[in-house]
């Protein structure tokens, strides 16, 4: 989920789609599209079927979805 419309290189508006957040409230998904992100090593990746949710406070990327799509994922997590 991305909250910034300017990041989308392609976009399709959605009318009646919602995402359920971790605290069980729903946020309207206003569209779906493709986002290009530049990684720390300078490589640019294209993420498809990204949801545009303007009410989320930050970008949310699912590591498990990236793995299913065949993208290598490495790094550490903090709690």
pLDDT tens string, the chain, 79 residues long: the values are 889 999 999 999 998 899 888 889 899 999 999 998 887 788 888 888 899 999 888 888 877 777 777 777 776 555 4
- Quick one: pLDDT at residue 39? 76
- Quick one: pLDDT at residue 79? 44
- Quick one: pLDDT at residue 76? 58
pTM of the model: 0.77
| 13: containing domain | 5-60
Number of structural domains found in the chain: 1
Q: Domain for residue 76, yes or no?
A: no
DSSP-derived pairing of the beta strands 26-38 and 44-52: antiparallel
- Quick one: pLDDT at residue 43? 84
Q: How far apart are CA 21 and CA 31, in angstroms?
A: 17
């Amino acid at each position: 989920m991305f909250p910034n419309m300017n990041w989308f290189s392609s976009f399709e508006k959605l009318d009646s789609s919602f995402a359920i957040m971790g605290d069980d409230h729903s946020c309207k998904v206003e569209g779906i599209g493709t986002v290009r992100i530049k990684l720390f090593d300078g490589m640019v990746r294209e993420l498809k079927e990204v949801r545009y949710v303007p009410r989320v406070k930050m970008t949310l990327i699912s590591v498990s979805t990236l793995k299913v799509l065949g993208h290598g994922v490495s790094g550490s997590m903090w709690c």
